[in-house]
Structure 1
Amino acid sequence: MPAHAPIAATPMAFVQAIVAAYARYGQHPTQALAQAQIAPAQLRDQSARITAWQMERISEAAMRELDDEALGWFHRRLPWGSYGMLARASISAPTLALAVQRWCRHHGLIADDITLTLQTSGSTASITIAENRELGEGGALREFCLVSVLRNILGLACWLVDSRIPLLQAQFPFAPPPHAEAYQVLFSGPTRFDQTQAAISFDAQYLQLPLRRDEKALQQMLQHALPLTVLQYRRDRLLVQRVRQLLATQQQDTHGAEALAALLHLSPRTLHRQLKEEGATLQALKDEVRQSRATELLLRTRRPIKQVAEAAGFQNEKSFMRAFKGWTGQSPAEFRRQATPQD
């Protein structure tokens, strides 16, 4: 398989659930399967997997043909645009906490089959689902419903704050299905089965983040919203790149983690955690930017070492000389002398 080939990780059970929704409404999934390039014979293979692209295609086709964004989960249809309406009701919230609370409350107004609740206990936040009646006649439709609703709100939450929210845990009130290993892709963090309710848990610090999207961005997102549910969210730009740029261009405003985090609309704790997820630390990035600035000044100017130290962000010449020797094995003067051609 080519290195760029899409990974088939979505279990065939979810496609079977969509086919069951067609049967419930007395319709045939032939066209939707064809659009997603899923052969009817594949449906009988319990071990088969499809790609995120195929899942997106068959989900959208089914939602439109059945006029039900819930795909048969609930006792009544959710017409096309229902989940977009929930997003619109949340976009004006000042923080993620209020946006999620609104989404959960309004979801109950359009589908009272389930009740979603945002809860916080200490440093952990959880979104739980209480089942008020049997979902989709049980079985595959129930699993598909619980997984999809949680991935829907998680994907929207990540998009609203433009940050991937890693999960501490996902849990479900059913036994491990034959495709349980697929949950490692469906949800970041460990997954537990045979629990009392379906839920996802994450660091409560994310709830304090301000929303970073506006109505214009929402309109654009809703034109192609399904990937938020089908794929794990990725930031538009890596945080490491954004931090590096701020350190290089706004030196006076980025002395401490709190000031830098404020510029990025993050909490200091979230800043450190997300940098760690990308394999970096704030101190290492500071050192990288300082070393680059100091090296350039040593090579391209004749400024005294004390001025280079100050321009590179050090409080005094002594701390700069100690750091520079740790980076290069040389003092700033030795580095400049060896790198500068002698007359």
Structure 2
Amino acid sequence: MPTTPPTLPILVVHRTLAGARKRGAMSDEAISALVGAAGIPLALLAESGARITAKQYEALCALLIEQLGDESIGFLSRPLQRGSFALIGRSMLGAPSLDVALRRGAHTFRLLQHDLAMHCVKHGELSGFALEARNSEAGRETFLLEMLVRIFWLMLAWLNRGRLPIQRIDFGFEQPAYAAYYSVIFPAPLQFDQPCTAVWFDAGALLAPARRTEDDLRATLRQAPGNVILPRPGEYACSDRVKVILEQSSPDWLDLDGVAKCIHVSASTLQRRLALEGTSFQSLKDALRRDLAIERLTTGKVPVAQLAVELGFADATAFNRAFKLWTGSTPSCYRRR
């Protein structure tokens, strides 16, 4: 697995807080205090290009759930009481197949809230689940749909001992400006402006039995919400291999052909496999260097010039230019926050 943790755009923080703001569940002062408690500098909220670490985001989500007592963090008209997703998970245990587990989970979810209808879908060789709004307000909550897509996919993958490749994800809304972030959380081809939001798997894969126990569930719940927010081992099989090779090649930073040779495939084959995971070689390389730069700037005192060399830039000027493109700020300014 790659050792450099991913970072997230600050826009994700704003969208995560939108539920609490809209419902009036928390004052601006309380939200500011919560953001600070998560280790996120308040100044970053005003900078559109800023990024935070996955650990900071994990802390923010945990604090929000605790403060609101709502696992939907304010996005549903009726709060999902703490333990709701655990209840859904328990309803899926012991199912003879993932398909049956999915039906049980969808039924339990419908009993817990009235804003969204979740049901099983099938089309040709594909099967999966769809989420449809029961009111116009819920249909506009794109963050809620994104969150539920990931949660229910991870539940099914967890029941299958951690592996359930997605064939395609349809989103029932326009492609958002932050869509590049999707490559971090959704390893699959994506389609936007679809009739509804749906996740599609190979139909045969859902015939596998649910292989988890109550003890397994209790163990995984102790790791929440980090095991939902952060990419899991094996979630991006090809992308993870590329990241590991790139990290190991620092400060030379191999190019596409070099990495392809390490994996024993052609460059075109590597690009094709990465495309199936919703990314590209250059995107992975840029994101890895960006995240490594942010981690080093926020946790250490390495000189900017030295960091530029470690990241494979010709000089500090080139690094400054790239970092400002990534975050809207120079490395020195970012460090001072």
User: Who is 1:221 aligned against?
Assistant: 220
Distance, in Å, in 1 between the alignment partners of 2:176 and 2:230 is 21
Range 115-124 or range 45-54, more displaced: 45-54
Distance, in Å, in 2 between the alignment partners of 1:40 and 1:193 is 33
Q: 1:78: how far off?
A: 1.0
User: Who is 1:76 aligned against?
Assistant: 78
Distance, in Å, in 2 between the alignment partners of 1:204 and 1:112 is 28
Structure 2 unmatched runs, 5+: 238-272, 274-337
Aligned to 1:17, what secondary structure does the other structure show?
Answer: helix
**1:11 and 1:50 in contact (8 A); partners too:** yes
Aligned to 2:136, what secondary structure does the other structure show?
Answer: coil
**1:118 and 1:127 in contact (8 A); partners too:** yes
Sort the Cα spacing of 1:4 and 1:220 in 2 relative to 1 into closer, same or farther, 3 A. closer
Distance, in Å, in 1 between the alignment partners of 2:234 and 2:5 is 20
Aligned to 1:167, what secondary structure does the other structure show?
Answer: coil
Alignment of 1:1-343 (within 5 A): 4-8=3-7, 10-23=8-21, 24=23, 25-27=25-27, 28-135=30-137, 138=140, 142-234=141-233
**2:115 and 2:138 in contact (8 A); partners too:** no
CA-atom RMSD, angstroms? 2.2
**1:169 and 1:201 in contact (8 A); partners too:** yes
Aligned to 1:29, what secondary structure does the other structure show?
Answer: helix
TM-score (norm 1): 0.63
Larger RCO (CA under 8 A, 6+ residues apart):
2
TM-score (norm 2): 0.64
Distance, in Å, in 1 between the alignment partners of 2:149 and 2:203 is 17
Amino acid at match of 2:9: P
Distance, in Å, in 1 between the alignment partners of 2:86 and 2:228 is 13
**1:115 and 1:132 in contact (8 A); partners too:** yes
Distance, in Å, in 1 between the alignment partners of 2:112 and 2:217 is 20
Q: 1:120: how far off?
A: 2.1
Distance, in Å, in 1 between the alignment partners of 2:103 and 2:230 is 23
Range 87-96 or range 14-23, more displaced: 14-23
How many pairs does the alignment contain? 232
Distance, in Å, in 1 between the alignment partners of 2:127 and 2:145 is 18
Aligned to 1:69, what secondary structure does the other structure show?
Answer: coil
Distance, in Å, in 2 between the alignment partners of 1:26 and 1:57 is 17
**2:20 and 2:75 in contact (8 A); partners too:** no
Amino acid at match of 1:164: R
User: Who is 1:316 aligned against?
Assistant: none
Return structure 1 stretches of 4+ with deviation > 6 angstroms: none
**1:73 and 1:135 in contact (8 A); partners too:** no
Amino acid at match of 1:97: D
Aligned to 2:201, what secondary structure does the other structure show?
Answer: strand
**1:60 and 1:226 in contact (8 A); partners too:** yes
Distance, in Å, in 2 between the alignment partners of 1:69 and 1:164 is 25
Distance, in Å, in 2 between the alignment partners of 1:60 and 1:136 is 23
Q: 1:93: how far off?
A: 1.2
Q: 1:91: how far off?
A: 1.1
**1:135 and 1:145 in contact (8 A); partners too:** no
**1:176 and 1:193 in contact (8 A); partners too:** yes
Amino acid at match of 1:215: E
Q: 1:235: how far off?
A: 5.5
Sort the Cα spacing of 1:217 and 1:234 in 2 relative to 1 into closer, same or farther, 3 A. same
Q: 1:102: how far off?
A: 0.7
Distance, in Å, in 1 between the alignment partners of 2:195 and 2:50 is 29
**1:152 and 1:228 in contact (8 A); partners too:** no
User: Who is 1:255 aligned against?
Assistant: none
Sort the Cα spacing of 1:235 and 1:4 in 2 relative to 1 into closer, same or farther, 3 A. closer
Amino acid at match of 2:205: Y
Amino acid at match of 1:20: A
Amino acid at match of 2:93: I
